[in-house]
């Protein structure tokens, strides 16, 4: 069984569509756990209405310590052996849950399965497709602009048993808990990447991630994680990281140089 976990707080604008997304997957082996943080709008009323008619929906509503706390509650309540997080404003491609169930039949315990994720703006326009093909810690530590990590949990699924090995989401972390979890997972799990679009992420004004990135907090959020996980690399992996980092810095320096002096680009190519 797949346990779809949705953390939500005052999400009346999206909760109904989120519930319908799971219903429309037409998956007979799914439960939808909705973990509400004590919403003051119509979120709970909408959840109650659907839960009365769809037995695969289970929910709680109580004060929590934030998104990580809500996800951990959902994981502890989950009956399925496969976990996925579906944020209230995100959605799946059609038939993804059945597709994932079939793939997991071929995977060993403690597997982490990743697909691609489409990123949409507030006008409903596709911005780009996140395709995280390289998922070793040495690759991810090079940063988003080099080797993008899975950008949204609607496009990855994993065995619940992984939490016994790598722990849960950090409750005090309200911004990089997904990335922190991924850094732990890629060191322990059997990683399987499938080049198919599975998830959809709305990058829209008003959301926590949108506000944070607009403030330019990405680098400052990443640096503490780098300080934690870089020392966990083996000596050989640190050498590999250093070589890639040096090459990339030189490459970026050349790109910046030719942007400023485009007249130098053609002679450079001819010299090559």
Domain that holds residue 223: 2-232
Packing angle, helices 67-77 and 177-188, rounded to 10: 50
Do 181 and 216 have their domain in common? Answer: yes
217: phi then psi, degrees, rounded to nearest 5: -90, -5
The closest alpha carbon to 90, from 199, 240, 229, belongs to: 199
pLDDT tens, per residue, the chain with 272 residues = 999 999 999 999 999 999 999 999 999 999 999 999 999 999 999 999 999 999 999 999 999 999 999 999 999 999 999 999 999 999 999 999 999 999 999 999 999 999 999 999 989 999 999 999 999 999 999 887 778 899 999 999 999 999 999 999 999 887 889 999 999 999 999 999 999 999 999 997 655 554 445 555 556 778 899 899 999 999 989 988 888 877 665 544 444 444 445 554 444 434 44
Do 95 and 110 have their domain in common? Answer: yes
Do 29 and 124 have their domain in common? Answer: yes
Helix (H) or strand (E) segment spanning residue 206: none
Do 176 and 259 have their domain in common? Answer: no
Do 176 and 241 have their domain in common? Answer: no
Do 267 and 214 have their domain in common? Answer: no
Do 25 and 131 have their domain in common? Answer: yes
Do 68 and 134 have their domain in common? Answer: yes
Do 124 and 75 have their domain in common? Answer: yes
Residue where a domain stops, chosen among 232, 248, 263:
232
pTM, rounded to two decimals: 0.86
How many domains are there within the chain? 2
Do 100 and 167 have their domain in common? Answer: yes
Do 186 and 259 have their domain in common? Answer: no
Domain containing residue 151: CATH number: 3.90.550.10
Do 114 and 239 have their domain in common? Answer: no
How far is CA 237 from its chain centroid?
25
């Amino acid at each position: 069984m797949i346990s779809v976990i949705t953390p939500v707080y005052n999400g009346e604008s999206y909760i109904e569509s989120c519930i319908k997304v799971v219903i429309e997957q037409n998956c007979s082996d799914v439960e939808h756990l909705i973990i509400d943080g004590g919403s003051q709008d119509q979120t709970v009323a909408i959840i109650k209405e659907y839960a009365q008619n769809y037995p695969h929906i289970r929910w709680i509503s109580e004060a929590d310590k934030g998104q990580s706390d809500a996800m951990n509650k959902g994981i502890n309540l989950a009956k399925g052996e496969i976990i996925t997080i579906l944020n209230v404003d995100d959605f799946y491609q059609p038939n993804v849950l059945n597709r994932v169930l079939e793939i997991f039949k071929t995977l060993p315990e403690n597997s982490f399965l990743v697909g691609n994720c489409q990123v949409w703006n507030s006008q409903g326009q596709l911005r780009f497709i996140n395709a995280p093909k390289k998922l070793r810690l040495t690759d991810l530590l090079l940063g988003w602009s080099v080797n993008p990590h899975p950008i949204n949990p609607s496009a990855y699924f994993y065995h619940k048993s992984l939490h016994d090995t790598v722990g849960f989401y950090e409750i005090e972390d309200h911004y990089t808990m997904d990335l922190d979890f991924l850094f732990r997972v890629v060191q322990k799990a059997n990683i399987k990447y499938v080049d198919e679009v599975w998830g959809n992420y709305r990058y829209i004004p008003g959301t926590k991630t949108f506000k944070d990135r607009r403030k330019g907090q990405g680098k400052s959020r990443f640096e503490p994680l780098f300080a934690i996980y870089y020392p966990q690399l083996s000596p050989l992996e640190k050498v590999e990281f250093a070589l890639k980092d040096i090459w990339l810095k030189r490459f970026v320096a050349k790109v910046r140089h030719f942007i400023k002096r485009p007249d130098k680009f053609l002679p450079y190519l001819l010299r090559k």
